[in-house]
Structure 1
Amino acid sequence: MQELDLQLARKTLEAQPFSRLVQARITAFGDGRAVLEVDSRTELHQQNGFLHGGVLAYAADNAITFAAGTTLGAAVLTGGFSISYVRPAVGRTLAARAQVMHTGRRQATVRCDLYVVGEDGEEALCAIAQGTVLSAAPSS
């Protein structure tokens, strides 16, 4: 299995066309954790000026899957996830912080807390997600 590190995670994210479109970046990766960030900009807002819920869902999904990859290996797929929106996402940067809560042989359960970081650096929780990630590696 190829060694998984922050540099490989960044290359993998860069290979995703949608991730390039939203200009996402991975700022932490390893030991059952991953942090994905997206800067807020008008194109990512909904009609009331908040980050669109789809952007939050994208960030949760990807952070969850990257975190699981640190325990299951690089070949992983999202099995499913749920998200609860806590408050409108208004700020300069969205930070999706995922942590593996349990890993089995072929599946991981991951929690992701999504924060919006304001201009003053203050953080506000805007959503909570939980997902199941499956190993896509062939069984031996």
Structure 2
Amino acid sequence: MELDLDLARKVLAAQPFSRLLGARITEFGDGAATLELDIRDELRQQNGFVHGGVLAYAADNTLTFAAGSVVGANLITAGFTVDYMKPAVGAILRARAEVVRAGRTRVISRCDITTVDGEGGETLCAVAQGSIAVASDR
């Protein structure tokens, strides 16, 4: 099944956890995807930074959506790594992922996670790479 931006948004909206976080897909297609969410107090840890688990969620979902733009919707994350580089502070969390290599059974994607301040400036906070498995028919 080929995905487009509207269908990708419907898939995201069908994920209860994504709805809880207020995530939205702003770009999708041609081996890339961008996911954003507004930074609010409930997403912060005790020092005021966005919790690392939120950054990991953004990486996981965006890596998989980028893969889906190439191979379709029948996917599951096989594994991913996140390297945290700077504390995440700002108004918006943005994750941009692109496919590095798409195979028949696995897709490798990489993702940059940034924060956007109130004036539109971006700061790179984390990078991620993931292996996305093309799921067999159940």
Q: CA deviation at 1:71?
A: 1.3
Deviations 1:83-138, CA, capped at 9 Å, x for gaps: 00000000000000000000111110000000100111100000000000010143
Paired residue type of 1:56: L
Q: CA deviation at 1:5?
A: 0.3
Gaps of 5+ in 1: none
- SS of the residue aligned with 1:56? helix
Give the paired residue count: 138
| Percent identity between the two aligned chains | 60
For normalisation by structure 1, the TM-score amounts to 0.96
RMSD over aligned CA atoms reads: 1.1
Moved over 6 A (4+): none
Paired residue type of 1:68: A
Q: 1:43 and 1:61 mapped to 2: Cα distance?
A: 20
Q: CA deviation at 1:10?
A: 0.3
Conserved? CA contact 1:27–1:36, under 8 Å: yes
Within-5 A mapping of 1:79-98: 79-98=78-97
Within-5 A mapping of 1:34-49: 34-49=33-48
Q: 2:15 and 2:137 mapped to 1: Cα distance?
A: 23
- SS of the residue aligned with 1:126? strand
Q: 2:9 and 2:128 mapped to 1: Cα distance?
A: 22
